Amino acid sequence: MLEARNLKLWYGDFRALNGVSMSITPNAITAIIGPSGCGKSTLLRCFNRMNDLVEGSRTEGEVLFEGKNINDRRFDMTELRKRVGMVFQRPNPFPLTVFDNVAYGPRIHGLASGDALREIVKKALQSTLLWDELGEKLEAPALSLSAEQQQRLCISRLVAVAPDVLLMDEPCSALDPMATQNIEELMLELKKRFTIVIVTHNMQQAARVSDFTGFMLLGDLVEFGETQRVFTAPRQKKTEEYITGRYG
Protein backbone atom coordinates (compact mmCIF):
# COMPACT_ATOMS: atom_id res chain seq x y z
CA MET A 1 0.00 0.00 0.00
CA LEU A 2 2.43 2.68 1.28
CA GLU A 3 6.09 2.24 1.86
CA ALA A 4 8.91 4.60 2.78
CA ARG A 5 12.37 3.60 1.61
CA ASN A 6 15.45 5.29 3.04
CA LEU A 7 13.50 8.52 3.31
CA LYS A 8 15.52 11.62 4.19
CA LEU A 9 14.18 15.12 4.54
CA TRP A 10 15.78 18.49 5.17
CA TYR A 11 14.26 21.78 6.21
CA GLY A 12 17.02 24.06 4.90
CA ASP A 13 20.18 22.75 6.59
CA PHE A 14 18.31 20.85 9.27
CA ARG A 15 17.89 17.15 8.61
CA ALA A 16 14.51 16.09 10.00
CA LEU A 17 14.46 12.48 8.72
CA ASN A 18 17.55 10.28 8.66
CA GLY A 19 16.71 7.55 6.19
CA VAL A 20 13.39 6.12 7.38
CA SER A 21 12.09 2.83 5.95
CA MET A 22 8.70 1.47 6.90
CA SER A 23 5.81 -0.37 5.32
CA ILE A 24 2.19 0.59 6.02
CA THR A 25 -0.22 -2.35 6.16
CA PRO A 26 -3.58 -1.90 4.38
CA ASN A 27 -6.77 -1.75 6.45
CA ALA A 28 -4.84 -1.35 9.66
CA ILE A 29 -3.98 1.57 11.91
CA THR A 30 -0.31 2.46 12.10
CA ALA A 31 0.69 4.85 14.88
CA ILE A 32 3.84 6.93 14.91
CA ILE A 33 4.93 8.04 18.36
CA GLY A 34 7.89 9.94 19.74
CA PRO A 35 8.82 13.12 21.60
CA SER A 36 8.27 16.59 20.15
CA GLY A 37 10.55 17.35 17.23
CA CYS A 38 11.37 13.70 16.50
CA GLY A 39 10.10 13.93 12.91
CA LYS A 40 6.85 12.01 13.24
CA SER A 41 4.62 14.69 11.67
CA THR A 42 7.25 15.28 9.01
CA LEU A 43 7.16 11.58 8.16
CA LEU A 44 3.37 11.62 8.04
CA ARG A 45 3.40 14.60 5.67
CA CYS A 46 5.78 12.73 3.37
CA PHE A 47 3.00 10.25 2.63
CA ASN A 48 1.02 12.85 0.70
CA ARG A 49 3.83 15.31 -0.02
CA MET A 50 2.48 18.02 2.25
CA ASN A 51 6.10 18.95 2.99
CA ASP A 52 6.32 20.33 -0.55
CA LEU A 53 4.40 23.31 0.81
CA VAL A 54 7.24 24.08 3.27
CA GLU A 55 9.74 26.45 1.72
CA GLY A 56 13.30 25.09 1.73
CA SER A 57 12.30 21.47 2.31
CA ARG A 58 14.13 18.80 0.33
CA THR A 59 13.46 15.08 0.18
CA GLU A 60 15.57 12.07 -0.77
CA GLY A 61 14.54 8.44 -0.93
CA GLU A 62 11.28 6.97 -2.04
CA VAL A 63 7.68 6.82 -0.86
CA LEU A 64 5.95 4.07 -2.78
CA PHE A 65 2.18 4.18 -3.16
CA GLU A 66 0.91 1.07 -4.89
CA GLY A 67 4.46 0.51 -6.10
CA LYS A 68 4.97 3.98 -7.62
CA ASN A 69 7.28 6.60 -6.14
CA ILE A 70 5.17 9.62 -5.19
CA ASN A 71 8.33 11.74 -5.03
CA ASP A 72 8.64 11.29 -8.79
CA ARG A 73 7.83 14.63 -10.45
CA ARG A 74 5.54 12.86 -12.90
CA PHE A 75 3.27 11.58 -10.13
CA ASP A 76 -0.20 13.12 -10.35
CA MET A 77 -0.46 15.27 -7.20
CA THR A 78 -4.21 15.82 -7.50
CA GLU A 79 -4.75 12.09 -7.59
CA LEU A 80 -2.34 11.62 -4.64
CA ARG A 81 -4.13 14.14 -2.40
CA LYS A 82 -7.48 12.61 -3.33
CA ARG A 83 -6.38 9.08 -2.47
CA VAL A 84 -4.24 9.97 0.55
CA GLY A 85 -6.19 12.43 2.67
CA MET A 86 -5.15 14.20 5.84
CA VAL A 87 -6.87 15.09 9.12
CA PHE A 88 -5.20 17.82 11.13
CA GLN A 89 -4.70 18.57 14.81
CA ARG A 90 -7.34 21.29 14.86
CA PRO A 91 -10.57 20.70 12.97
CA ASN A 92 -10.50 22.90 9.88
CA PRO A 93 -13.96 22.89 8.29
CA PHE A 94 -14.55 25.41 5.53
CA PRO A 95 -16.78 28.35 6.49
CA LEU A 96 -19.61 26.72 4.55
CA THR A 97 -22.62 24.62 5.42
CA VAL A 98 -22.31 21.03 6.62
CA PHE A 99 -23.48 19.81 3.22
CA ASP A 100 -21.11 22.01 1.23
CA ASN A 101 -18.14 20.91 3.34
CA VAL A 102 -18.71 17.26 2.55
CA ALA A 103 -19.73 17.94 -1.06
CA TYR A 104 -16.65 20.08 -1.66
CA GLY A 105 -14.30 17.26 -2.68
CA PRO A 106 -16.71 15.34 -4.91
CA ARG A 107 -17.60 18.62 -6.66
CA ILE A 108 -14.04 19.74 -7.42
CA HIS A 109 -13.09 16.23 -8.53
CA GLY A 110 -16.24 16.13 -10.66
CA LEU A 111 -17.33 12.90 -9.04
CA ALA A 112 -21.06 13.55 -8.75
CA SER A 113 -23.88 16.07 -8.69
CA GLY A 114 -27.60 16.20 -7.84
CA ASP A 115 -29.01 13.11 -6.15
CA ALA A 116 -25.76 11.18 -6.58
CA LEU A 117 -23.90 13.92 -4.70
CA ARG A 118 -26.55 13.97 -1.95
CA GLU A 119 -26.10 10.21 -1.61
CA ILE A 120 -22.32 10.57 -1.32
CA VAL A 121 -22.75 13.23 1.39
CA LYS A 122 -25.22 11.05 3.27
CA LYS A 123 -22.93 8.02 3.17
CA ALA A 124 -19.90 10.06 4.18
CA LEU A 125 -21.77 11.48 7.18
CA GLN A 126 -23.07 8.00 8.05
CA SER A 127 -19.55 6.58 7.98
CA THR A 128 -18.45 9.09 10.61
CA LEU A 129 -21.64 8.59 12.62
CA LEU A 130 -22.72 12.20 12.03
CA TRP A 131 -25.81 11.51 9.93
CA ASP A 132 -28.11 10.90 12.89
CA GLU A 133 -26.95 14.15 14.48
CA LEU A 134 -26.77 16.36 11.41
CA GLY A 135 -28.98 14.72 8.77
CA GLU A 136 -31.64 17.36 9.46
CA LYS A 137 -29.12 20.19 9.76
CA LEU A 138 -27.24 19.95 6.50
CA GLU A 139 -27.59 23.69 5.90
CA ALA A 140 -26.20 24.60 9.31
CA PRO A 141 -22.86 26.43 9.25
CA ALA A 142 -20.05 23.94 9.92
CA LEU A 143 -18.35 26.40 12.24
CA SER A 144 -21.34 26.23 14.58
CA LEU A 145 -20.66 22.55 15.36
CA SER A 146 -18.83 21.25 18.43
CA ALA A 147 -15.08 20.57 18.08
CA GLU A 148 -15.69 16.83 17.93
CA GLN A 149 -18.42 17.22 15.29
CA GLN A 150 -16.13 19.49 13.31
CA GLN A 151 -13.37 16.90 13.40
CA ARG A 152 -15.77 14.16 12.32
CA LEU A 153 -17.03 16.47 9.58
CA CYS A 154 -13.45 16.91 8.34
CA ILE A 155 -13.10 13.12 8.25
CA SER A 156 -16.43 12.92 6.35
CA ARG A 157 -15.04 15.45 3.88
CA LEU A 158 -12.13 13.08 3.18
CA VAL A 159 -14.30 9.97 3.08
CA ALA A 160 -16.55 11.61 0.46
CA VAL A 161 -13.81 11.42 -2.18
CA ALA A 162 -13.24 7.72 -1.42
CA PRO A 163 -9.56 7.83 -0.49
CA ASP A 164 -7.43 4.77 0.25
CA VAL A 165 -5.39 6.23 3.08
CA LEU A 166 -6.26 8.58 5.94
CA LEU A 167 -3.34 10.41 7.52
CA MET A 168 -4.17 11.78 10.96
CA ASP A 169 -1.89 14.28 12.64
CA GLU A 170 -2.79 14.44 16.36
CA PRO A 171 -6.52 14.30 15.48
CA CYS A 172 -7.68 14.27 19.11
CA SER A 173 -5.29 16.71 20.75
CA ALA A 174 -7.86 19.53 20.66
CA LEU A 175 -10.69 17.31 21.93
CA ASP A 176 -11.92 16.38 25.40
CA PRO A 177 -11.65 12.75 26.65
CA MET A 178 -15.19 11.76 25.61
CA ALA A 179 -14.80 13.25 22.13
CA THR A 180 -11.39 11.53 21.90
CA GLN A 181 -13.00 8.21 22.72
CA ASN A 182 -15.61 8.78 20.01
CA ILE A 183 -12.97 9.58 17.39
CA GLU A 184 -10.98 6.48 18.44
CA GLU A 185 -14.09 4.31 18.04
CA LEU A 186 -14.64 5.91 14.66
CA MET A 187 -11.05 5.09 13.62
CA LEU A 188 -11.60 1.44 14.51
CA GLU A 189 -14.69 1.43 12.27
CA LEU A 190 -12.96 3.32 9.44
CA LYS A 191 -10.00 0.95 9.28
CA LYS A 192 -12.31 -1.69 7.80
CA ARG A 193 -12.47 0.51 4.68
CA PHE A 194 -9.35 2.64 4.85
CA THR A 195 -5.69 2.44 5.75
CA ILE A 196 -4.94 4.80 8.63
CA VAL A 197 -1.66 6.35 9.75
CA ILE A 198 -1.86 8.41 12.93
CA VAL A 199 0.69 10.59 14.64
CA THR A 200 0.03 10.99 18.34
CA HIS A 201 1.69 12.27 21.49
CA ASN A 202 -0.67 10.11 23.47
CA MET A 203 0.95 6.69 23.94
CA GLN A 204 -2.17 5.21 25.48
CA GLN A 205 -4.07 6.27 22.37
CA ALA A 206 -1.50 4.56 20.14
CA ALA A 207 -1.75 1.44 22.32
CA ARG A 208 -5.55 1.47 22.27
CA VAL A 209 -6.24 1.97 18.59
CA SER A 210 -3.25 0.97 16.49
CA ASP A 211 -2.20 -2.35 15.03
CA PHE A 212 1.37 -1.25 14.34
CA THR A 213 3.54 1.30 16.09
CA GLY A 214 6.67 3.10 15.04
CA PHE A 215 8.80 4.96 17.60
CA MET A 216 10.79 7.91 16.27
CA LEU A 217 13.61 9.80 17.91
CA LEU A 218 15.69 12.62 16.42
CA GLY A 219 14.67 11.79 12.87
CA ASP A 220 15.28 8.05 13.15
CA LEU A 221 12.67 5.31 13.15
CA VAL A 222 14.08 3.55 16.21
CA GLU A 223 11.61 0.68 16.28
CA PHE A 224 8.63 -0.49 14.26
CA GLY A 225 6.42 -3.48 14.87
CA GLU A 226 3.12 -4.84 16.11
CA THR A 227 1.66 -2.51 18.72
CA GLN A 228 1.17 -5.29 21.26
CA ARG A 229 4.83 -6.25 20.98
CA VAL A 230 6.19 -2.70 21.04
CA PHE A 231 4.25 -1.81 24.19
CA THR A 232 4.90 -5.04 26.09
CA ALA A 233 8.34 -6.07 24.89
CA PRO A 234 10.14 -3.34 22.98
CA ARG A 235 13.43 -4.47 21.47
CA GLN A 236 15.23 -1.15 21.62
CA LYS A 237 16.36 0.38 24.89
CA LYS A 238 15.35 3.86 23.71
CA THR A 239 11.81 2.67 22.99
CA GLU A 240 11.63 1.05 26.41
CA GLU A 241 12.82 4.26 28.07
CA TYR A 242 10.31 6.39 26.16
CA ILE A 243 7.22 4.27 26.72
CA THR A 244 7.98 3.68 30.39
CA GLY A 245 8.55 7.38 30.98
CA ARG A 246 12.27 7.06 31.67
CA TYR A 247 13.25 9.04 28.58
CA GLY A 248 15.13 12.28 29.18
**Could you tell me the smallest distance in angstroms from the CB atom of residue 232 to another protein?**
5
Name the residue type at position 1: M
25 secondary structure, DSSP code = P
Binding of another protein at residue 62 (CB under 8 A)? no
**Could you tell me the smallest distance in angstroms from the CB atom of residue 44 to another protein?**
17
- Which one of 93, 207, 217, 219 is in contact with another protein (CB under 8 A)? 207
- Which one of 3, 62, 164, 220 is in contact with another protein (CB under 8 A)? 3
Rounded Cα–Cα distance for residues 66 and 207 (Å): 27
Give 197's strand partners: 30, 167
- Residue 107 or 208 with smaller CB distance to another protein: 208
Binding of another protein at residue 243 (CB under 8 A)? yes
Binding mask 16-55 for another protein (x = CB under 8 A): -----xxx-x--x-x-------------------------
Distant-in-sequence, close-in-space partners of 111: CB < 8 Å, separation ≥ 6: 105, 117, 120, 161
- Residue 121 or 196 with smaller CB distance to another protein: 196
- Residue 35 or 141 with smaller CB distance to another protein: 35
Rounded Cα–Cα distance for residues 226 and 30 (Å): 9
Binding of another protein at residue 248 (CB under 8 A)? yes
If we measure between CA atoms, which residue out of 210, 208, 215 comes closest to residue 196? 210
**Could you tell me the smallest distance in angstroms from the CB atom of residue 90 to another protein?**
26
For the purposes of burial, counting CB atoms within 10 Å of the CB of 3, is it exposed (0-12), middle (13-18) or buried (19 or more)? middle
Supply φ then ψ for residue 88, to 5 degrees: -100, 170
- Residue 70 or 103 with smaller CB distance to another protein: 70
Give 22's strand partners: 4
97 secondary structure, DSSP code = B
- Collapsing DSSP to helix, strand or coil, 215 comes out as strand
In the sheet with 14-24, reading across from the earlier edge strand, the strands are 14-24, 2-11, 57-65, 68-69
- Residue 48 or 205 with smaller CB distance to another protein: 205
- Residue 4 or 154 with smaller CB distance to another protein: 4
| Total residues binding another protein (CB under 8 A) | 29
Rounded Cα–Cα distance for residues 139 and 98 (Å): 6
Interactions with another protein, residue window 210-239 (CB under 8 A): 211-212, 224-226, 228-234, 239
Which positions touch another protein (CB under 8 A)?
Answer: 3, 21-23, 25, 28, 30, 203-204, 207, 211-212, 224-226, 228-234, 239-240, 243-246, 248
